[in-house]
Structure 1
């Protein structure tokens, strides 16, 4: 039986309830969906903290990055660990090369250069009130979203109203991307498309809670299954085709509707995205089949 490591982290692994993240139940849903399908394919799943001692990885044939949801706090150590595992002959999915490209949101500029429609963005090493005023003028909008260039799960995101600017001493503490707030996030929601080895598995719609704009479950966001139109599936598939490497084992393409009706890519999540097994009941079988083929 081939052994597959599912990389998690200290705040998603079961254990001390006070330590677990509020959305750690999503880790449990992933394991429940994948483990039986893997076993059917002759794959034994080992759930392991990516920071565990290296000897704990001995005998693994492949690792998938799973729920390593603290990687953005120590990205260099994370990539170094993936490099070490790969150097020991363990297949890493998605690969360290993919992770390096995807870890900083500036990859969106690469996709734009390859023809992808992306959300309008200003990239800044630092953001003060002056940069906010500049961005409001640039986008001619009433609200801005400021995000980390290296981050996940809406960590440290800020929604800023033009009529309620922060005080003159305010500074955003990270390299940032500044985008106009797009009302489509609350009206239609964010559309997510899950791909396994480049093939569309399933899709869903994510909506924020009333009064919020973040679609993650931590903030009350909800998800419903989406049956995408051929045009929507094609738009998402075009983003996978625009990646500067072959389609990875798994990808989640998050998109938002522009005012002209076209879909824009918000994120191409290739590192450790939640893959929403509840909306994709055959996700486990799809992943197990794709991994088995890679190990043949």
Structure 2
């Protein structure tokens, strides 16, 4: 039997006594992922082993391939995370997605590279920190009334700030982290965000994510609502163009998050290649597709 590791973290792993304790509010997504993968993997003679990515190296013995899974605290300790992936690869265990991919994707400055490669991206300004003066300049440059300030290394909208032009922070305000600043696009609340799930470079499924009333964040932590979506030929082409713009071959899995711009075309918000939630509820064939792609990777 071939054993596939599924990396999790201390706040997504189920507690041994079955309570909710200090699990993340979206840890149920970990449960949905493993519940979708385990039976499909078993049908393909693959065993899924869930393991904390911070476990000692000897806990990874016997794994034939590792999926980064729900290691959703990686952004809090990115150096340790990259080091662990490197150590596992050095032991001859394929990691998906690889250290090369993670290193490229871990800082959102990868969006600049995608833009240089012709990808449609949201206008962005980049800062080692952000001040009030930077916000004033960004409001003028983008000609908008709201800005979104995001961490360059972050996930799930954690640490993100929405700033209105009429409610600027004080002159001594600093964001405190390396950041990206973008205009707030009303489409996120009006139409929602689109996610395209690719397995082995091929579309598995797509979905639309809408925020809860009065919010703009689409993650389940904030009450976001997801529904299956059948993309048009043009929309699929836009998402596929992002995969083609990567500076490496299509990874085992990728989630391309996109938002419609004023020209009615889709722009990439994020290319999630590290540990994205892959929404098995909207893609019931996800487990089978992923198992087949893994078998192909392992040449089994």
Give your verdict on TM over 0.5.
yes
- Structure 2's unaligned 5+ residue stretches are none
Match of 1:161 in 2: 164
Residue 208 of structure 2 aligns with which residue? 205
- CA distance in 1: counterparts of 2:124 and 2:131, whole angstroms: 16
Q: What CA distance in whole angstroms lies between the structure 1 residues aligned with 2:214 and 2:64?
A: 46
Q: Aligned partners of 2:40, 2:21: CA distance in 1, in Å?
A: 31
Give the whole-Å Cα distance in 2 for the aligned partners of 1:293 and 1:132. 48
Give per-residue Cα distances to partners, 1:31-78, cap 9 Å, x unaligned. 000010001101111000000011100000100000000000000000
In the other structure, the counterpart of 1:75 is 78
3-state DSSP class of the match of 1:98?
helix
The partner residue of 2:140 within 103, 125, 137 is 137
User: In structure 2, how many angstroms separate the alpha carbons of the residues matched to 1:97 and 1:8?
Assistant: 20
The CA deviation at 1:18 is 2.0
C-alpha separation in 1, matches of 2:294 and 2:4: 9
Where do residues 1-296 of structure 1 align in structure 2 (5 Å cutoff)? Answer: 1-15=1-15, 17-296=20-299
State the shift of 1:20 in Å: 0.2
TM-score with structure 1 length normalisation? Answer: 0.99
Structural RMSD (CA): 0.6
Partner Cα distance (2:20, 2:226) in 1: 25
Summarize deviations over 1:222-243 as a string: whole Å, max 9, x none. Answer: 1000000111011100100110
User: 1:293 offset after TM fit, Å?
Assistant: 1.1
Length-normalised TM-score, structure 2: 0.98
* Deviations 1:134-184, CA, capped at 9 Å, x for gaps: 111111110000000000000100000000011222110110000000000
How many residues align? The count is 296
Distance across 2 between alignment mates of 1:17 and 1:283: 27
Q: Which runs of 4+ in 1 moved over 3 A?
A: none
- The gaps in structure 1 that reach 5 residues or longer are none
State how far apart, in whole Å, the 1-side matches of 2:184 and 2:11 are: 30
